[in-house]
């Protein structure tokens, strides 16, 4: 699993991708001329800027900033990485994950590299400190330091509360929710051959029914929309309906599918599948499929063939080095991942389908306790535990920290620190094969030893070499 830095055939892909960039650089060069007045204005603005850009945070002074220049990540040896402990079981899983990540970096680089952590706040802790669940400081810190990691956050049900996770994804334009799903030997699974599932899901993160455009039943807004639809558009919406809007754009679809295809090329993946419900929602889900194929053909023609090409031109045999781009209807895809999981490799899909499918796939390989995730945009990336706050277990040192630990490993890969990530995968695998597991896996395994969250982390560290 690699998310940031490209192995072969990176050279060819880099060349392919830079063709567009060179043109951009020229025009940026022309724009760099500034008049004396512009320079004076800029200087004045800089002088007027406050000393600290944060209200209540002080970044560590002994680390350096990760930078993103020309779409490339520049990672210093001591990068400052903001972290959010999270609500509920965040207090249990964050210390465990931090310990494992730090040990892996130390083992891999022997002190030459080290993460400098920077605590930032969201959720309950932020509310206590700032009087709001998502302070501007937090958004600014993630923007400034480029890569961050977080535990789970509570979203109160109903009452007009917006999910903090959704808000952060939209505010930071973290448009791709990337979820690698693969099996670790020994993890109890509800299917007979869980090792056949090895996929990376790219879920669109900013629009679809998650866009937050909803009108409550009975409100003047809902009434106005219903009247418009019924009177102007010839619809027959029941007057006592609540209304939700599902926007799916060319922009968001293409950048997501582009990211998925680049990932597939960089990681020698054999296929990219566009999953949609276009047979019913033609102009949203169906359009997602059509725009996805457009990106594939127009921008990556040298690297891909479509499934139609495969059958019509290649007699079903994939030419060496080509990635097959295909599409599946969402309901059928839920069957496919159970019946023929090894036919799928990278999957790109709109927000709601992606939400469902990622959890269903995670269940096949051991549940959410072991499922990592990262929300990745062009400017920043936020890695996270994919499960919720599991409040009934909070503070009990009981739950599985695997999701956050693996998200940490994903983050290390994103930084290009793959040697450290590999240490985590191997040590986690050893610990599971030794049958030292937390309660969730213990209840499904024979002859296993149940360990606390903290002990599970200690065992993983002990298994690192």
Residues annotated as catalytic are 210, 277, 331, 355
Q: Is 152 in the site for ligand NAP (CB under 6 A)?
A: yes
- CA–CA gap between residue 134 and residue 169 (Å, rounded): 12
Among 155, 230, 249, 434, binds ligand NAP (CB under 6 A): 155
Min separation Cβ 390 and ligand NAP, Å: 4
Considering only CA atoms, which of 386, 402, 409 is closest in space to residue 451? Answer: 402
Q: Give the nearer residue to ligand NAP in terms of CB position, either 89 or 253.
A: 89
Q: Is 382 in the site for ligand NAP (CB under 6 A)?
A: no
Min separation Cβ 209 and ligand NAP, Å: 16
Using H for helix, E for strand and C for coil, what is the string for the chain? Answer: CCCCCCCCCHHHHHHHHHHHHHHHHHHHHHHCCCCHHHHHHHHHHHHHCCCCCCCCCCCCCCCECCEEECCEEECCCCEEEEEECCCCCHHHHHHHHHHHHHHHHHHHHCCCCCCEEEECCCCHHHHHHHCCCCCHHHHHHHHHHCEEEECCCCCCCCCCCCCHHHHHHHHCCCCEEEEEEECCCCCCCCCCCHHHCEEEEEEECCCHHHHCCEECCCCHHHHHHHHHHHHHCCCCCCCCCCEECCCCCHHHHHHHHHHHHHHHHHCCCCEEEEEECCCCCHHHHHHHHHHHHHHHHHHHCCCEEEHHHHHHHCCCCCCCCCEEEEEEEHHHHHHHHHHCHHHCCEEEECHHHHHHHHHHHHHHCCCHHHCEEEEECCCCEEEEECCCCCHHHCCCCCCCCHHHHHHHHHHHHHHCCHHHHHHHHHHHHHHHHCCEECHHHHCCCCCCEECCHHHHHHHHHHCCC
Q: Is 153 in the site for ligand NAP (CB under 6 A)?
A: yes
Which of these segments, 39-47, 234-242, 282-290, 398-406, binds ligand NAP (CB under 6 A)? 398-406
Q: Which of residues 34-53 bind ligand NAP (CB under 6 A)?
A: none
Among 2, 384, 397, 413, binds ligand NAP (CB under 6 A): 384
Q: Is 432 in the site for ligand NAP (CB under 6 A)?
A: no
Q: Give the nearer residue to ligand NAP in terms of CB position, either 303 or 393.
A: 393
- CA–CA gap between residue 458 and residue 18 (Å, rounded): 44
Q: Which of residues 63-102 bind ligand NAP (CB under 6 A)?
A: 89, 93
Binding string to ligand NAP for residues 344 to 373, with x set by CB under 6 A, is what? ------------------------xx----
Min separation Cβ 375 and ligand NAP, Å: 10
Among 181, 248, 399, 420, binds ligand NAP (CB under 6 A): 399
Where does residue 233 rank: exposed (0-12), middle (13-18), buried (19+ CB within 10 A)? Answer: exposed
Min separation Cβ 27 and ligand NAP, Å: 40
Q: Is 133 in the site for ligand NAP (CB under 6 A)?
A: no
Q: Give the nearer residue to ligand NAP in terms of CB position, either 207 or 440.
A: 440
Contact partners, residue 231, CB within 8 Å, separation at least 6: none
Q: Give the nearer residue to ligand NAP in terms of CB position, either 274 or 399.
A: 399
**CB-CB neighbours of 209 under 10 Å:** 17
Min separation Cβ 438 and ligand NAP, Å: 6
Min separation Cβ 257 and ligand NAP, Å: 24
Among 167, 400, 407, 431, binds ligand NAP (CB under 6 A): 400
C-alpha distances out from residue 136 to 58, 141, 142, 275, 332, Å: 14, 9, 10, 35, 42
Q: Is 285 in the site for ligand NAP (CB under 6 A)?
A: no
Min separation Cβ 396 and ligand NAP, Å: 11
Among 284, 375, 389, 407, binds ligand NAP (CB under 6 A): 389
Q: Is 408 in the site for ligand NAP (CB under 6 A)?
A: no
Q: Is 406 in the site for ligand NAP (CB under 6 A)?
A: no
Min separation Cβ 227 and ligand NAP, Å: 34
Q: Which of residues 158-187 bind ligand NAP (CB under 6 A)?
A: 165
Q: Is 327 in the site for ligand NAP (CB under 6 A)?
A: no
Residue with nearest beta carbon to ligand NAP: 388
Which of these segments, 28-36, 152-160, 253-261, 298-306, binds ligand NAP (CB under 6 A)? 152-160
Using CB under 6 A as the binding criterion, the count of chain residues that bind ligand NAP stands at 18
Among 96, 105, 122, 154, binds ligand NAP (CB under 6 A): 154
**Chain contacts with ligand NAP (rule: CB under 6 A):** 89, 93, 152-155, 165, 368-369, 384, 387-390, 399-400, 403, 440
């Amino acid at each position: 699993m690699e998310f940031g830095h490209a192995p072969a055939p990176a050279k060819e892909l880099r060349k392919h991708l830079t063709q567009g960039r060179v043109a951009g650089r020229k025009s940026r060069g022309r724009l760099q001329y500034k008049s004396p007045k512009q320079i004076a204005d800029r200087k004045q603005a800089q002088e007027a800027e406050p000393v600290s850009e944060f209200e209540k945070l002080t970044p560590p002074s002994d680390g350096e900033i990760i930078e993103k220049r020309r779409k490339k990540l520049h990672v210093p040896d001591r990068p400052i990485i903001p972290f959010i402990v999270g609500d509920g079981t965040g207090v249990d899983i964050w210390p465990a994950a931090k310990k494992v990540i730090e040990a892996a970096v130390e083992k891999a680089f022997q002190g030459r590299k080290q993460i400098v952590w920077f605590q930032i706040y969201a959720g309950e802790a932020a509310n206590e400190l700032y009087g709001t669940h998502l302070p501007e400081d937090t958004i600014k810190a993630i923007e400034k330091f480029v890569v961050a990691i977080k535990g789970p956050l509570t979203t109160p049900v109903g009452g007009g509360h917006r999910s903090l996770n959704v808000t952060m994804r939209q505010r930071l334009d973290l448009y791709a929710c990337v979820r690698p799903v693969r099996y670790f030997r020994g993890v109890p699974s509800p299917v007979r051959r869980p090792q056949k599932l090895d996929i990376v899901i790219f879920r669109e993160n900013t629009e679809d029914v998650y866009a937050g455009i909803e009108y409550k039943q009975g409100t003047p807004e809902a009434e106005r929309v219903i009247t418009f639809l019924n009177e102007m558009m010839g619809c027959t919406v029941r007057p006592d309906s609540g209304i939700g809007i599902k926007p799916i754009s060319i922009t968001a679809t293409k950048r997501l599918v582009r990211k998925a295809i680049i990932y597939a090329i960089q990681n020698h993946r054999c296929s990219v599948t566009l999953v949609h419900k276009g047979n019913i929602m033609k102009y949203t889900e169906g359009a997602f499929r059509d725009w996805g194929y457009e990106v594939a053909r127009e921008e990556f023609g040298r690297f891909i063939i479509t499934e139609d090409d495969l059958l019509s031109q290649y007699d079903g045999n994939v030419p060496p080095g080509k990635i097959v781009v295909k599409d599946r209807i969402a309901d059928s895809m839920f069957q496919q991942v159970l019946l023929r999981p090894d036919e799928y490799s990278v999957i790109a899909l709109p927000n709601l389908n992606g939400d469902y499918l990622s959890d269903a796939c995670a269940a096949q390989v051991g549940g959410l306790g072991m499922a990592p995730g990262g929300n990745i945009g062009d400017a920043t990336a936020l890695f996270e535990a994919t499960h919720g706050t599991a409040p009934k277990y909070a503070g009990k040192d009981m739950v599985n920290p695997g999701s956050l630990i693996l998200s940490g490993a994903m983050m290390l890969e994103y930084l290009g620190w793959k040697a450290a990530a590999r240490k985590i995968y191997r040590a986690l695998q050893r610990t599971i094969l030794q049958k030292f597991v937390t309660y969730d896996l213990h209840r499904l395994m024979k002859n296993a030893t149940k360990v606390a969250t903290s002990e599970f982390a200690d065992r993983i560290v002990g298994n690192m070499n």
